[in-house]
Structure 1
């Protein structure tokens, strides 16, 4: 198991460099060169290997050209700060005044720019900060393996070195909620409150039903990194790249499109593949003590758990369960297991999202999310009652 993990880390470390495709192309080229001095059969094999090397080299060159265009078209909108030999991207705007600064973290392993619509609404009312985890967005890849515990420390370091000052209100969606809770546990002195947007509970990974899509995610993301490495980008991305000279229409600057373009770099898929190994029974068993936030560990920190009343949008999970009774049990499990986060603090409160919204509610009702965060800021600001 450990040797397999080390091999995966080494592979992701290599594939996370956009130039790695050229290095890979050299392998069949070198093998082909050794074959051309032999007999007819070996010369044919050598020619075939050279053809493979040429195809890989051309694909890699296409990818590097594409990445170069994207770098020019979409430079980092915030600051790049060193966190110990590699850099993280921090975008901070707005004025905090006497209230805490808000730090947003999206789900999955997406860059902070995934929450730009909320940031754009919030920055006129509060100090609002987006941070790219290592490998995501504009941040450097960072060391492997990626873990929630390591990224919690990196987040706190990036905020400090970007010159941001606590106290903070940490806001995290899905897997980002688990990260923010972890960071709050490590530095409660810096945190005034926590808003968890339908967060990922470790119990769902350790004790929940097997989720094939989640189990396949590290493999699928590694394959995606390989596709990108050799120039097999989505058609939409290629069209956007052709307009990187500034002739693109307004949709090219849509935050979701910008992030999608930036994360065509292979580091994004490799970093996500690495950390999502944590979201497996084996991974959570190995890393759970450092990853999870247990009952009472946040003391009296104000905590809002914001999530839908039902499992709208989760049909792809439950449709795979043929037994109606088992399906009902799975639904009940996922509705209740996230409530465990409330036990982490004596001041945990439940907030339901608008009716008809599902797990993606931060994208669908950003105004509602900002209102919830603003309500917590009011409670954490000057004059707010102190816990007893």
Structure 2
């Protein structure tokens, strides 16, 4: 793997997949009925405005945000949700690109009568999706937090620096595709080492979603993000970078990888005239799990900025 291969792969992967259960078994879930009859599962708690919307990374259900959500709910209303095909939500038609995901979220919020203003927070690939949503609802999104986010055309941008394959997601895509094929053939569980991480209880729609999202990530989804706003004006924006994503790499490769990854995130922060980027120490890519305090603090700071308080200055988060 090239110098940033580890960071490139982790930047789109949140590997905790939550198996679907009966919706009525979870009283905290609200089911939003979309115009085409599908349902999305939302979990909302707390009170106040703006409402915080939490968008998970690849393969992650709303439960990936549970630690963050509890902290943010002390300050304002916060809603996480399961994208189509994940958690308790119905599957969705292909393509599962940013536009389809943002449309589902928009329609789900309207169905549940959850009105703006919103602060959006996206982890990993979810960082791309909230940017598409923010372009869809520009008048309602009043703040943004991007948590170790993926960036548009990440595969090409990293490969240009570190060589072919540096930004590839082929490994996780092929594994999900193998799990999908095995599930359709009713061949799970299997001794095949490629299928070791396939969960027999995972719905076929979940494997389909995982493959479809990856197939769109560096193509249609990146195109949609790139075609959106290049400037958010003075939108309160914080970008968090994981400090230990490249911890397994030896120096000087680690220093180079860290610098490139932080540079891509700095570009995102500069989409706002008041945007800031911060490094979160003592965590790898799964910051919402490992450092929910740091994520919640950033979200709360943006919420307060949307209410009129000044946004803080760049600083490392220990």
Q: TM-score, normalised by structure 1?
A: 0.64
Residue 313 of structure 1 pairs with residue 245 of structure 2: yes
Cα distance in 2 for partners of 1:74, 1:147 equals 30
Bigger shift: 263-272 or 188-197? 263-272
Cα distance in 2 for partners of 1:124, 1:159 equals 21
2:259 to 307, 328, 332: 332
Indicate how the Cα distance of structure 1 residues 76 and 269 shifts in structure 2: closer, same or farther if over 3 A, else same.
farther
Cα distance in 2 for partners of 1:262, 1:126 equals 38
Indicate how the Cα distance of structure 1 residues 219 and 93 shifts in structure 2: closer, same or farther if over 3 A, else same.
same
Tell me the CA shift for residue 198 of structure 1: 1.1
Specify the SS of the correspondent of 1:91.
Answer: strand
Specify the SS of the correspondent of 1:139.
Answer: coil
Matched with 1:265 is 203
Indicate how the Cα distance of structure 1 residues 234 and 351 shifts in structure 2: closer, same or farther if over 3 A, else same.
farther
Cα distance in 1 for partners of 2:270, 2:23 equals 47
Indicate how the Cα distance of structure 1 residues 385 and 141 shifts in structure 2: closer, same or farther if over 3 A, else same.
same
Matched with 1:130 is 80
Bigger shift: 290-299 or 117-126? 290-299
Tell me the CA shift for residue 338 of structure 1: 2.1
Residue 101 of structure 1 pairs with residue 58 of structure 2: no
Matched with 1:363 is 289
Residue 275 of structure 1 pairs with residue 275 of structure 2: no
Residue 348 of structure 1 pairs with residue 280 of structure 2: no
Q: Contact 2:64–2:289 at 8 Å: present in 1 too?
A: no
Count of residues in Structure 1 that have an aligned counterpart in Structure 2 = 280
Cα distance in 1 for partners of 2:99, 2:252 equals 37
Cα distance in 1 for partners of 2:47, 2:139 equals 21
Residue 232 of structure 1 pairs with residue 188 of structure 2: yes
Specify the SS of the correspondent of 1:196.
Answer: strand
**Over residues 295-330 of structure 1, what are the superposed CA-to-partner deviations in whole Å (9 max), with x where a residue is unaligned?**
73322211111123x4x13356x58xxxx8877654
Tell me the CA shift for residue 145 of structure 1: 1.4
Cα distance in 2 for partners of 1:315, 1:352 equals 14
Indicate how the Cα distance of structure 1 residues 109 and 77 shifts in structure 2: closer, same or farther if over 3 A, else same.
same
Residue 77 of structure 1 pairs with residue 28 of structure 2: yes
Note the aligned Cα RMSD (angstroms). 3.1
Cα distance in 1 for partners of 2:90, 2:279 equals 36
Cα distance in 1 for partners of 2:152, 2:181 equals 29
The structure with the largest alpha-carbon Rg is: 1
Q: TM-score, normalised by structure 2?
A: 0.77
2:235 to 301, 307, 313: 301
Cα distance in 2 for partners of 1:196, 1:269 equals 25
1:219 to 174, 178, 200: 174
Cα distance in 2 for partners of 1:263, 1:147 equals 25
Matched with 1:115 is 65
Cα distance in 1 for partners of 2:199, 2:26 equals 12
Cα distance in 2 for partners of 1:337, 1:263 equals 38
Which structure dedicates a bigger proportion of its chain to helix? Answer: 1
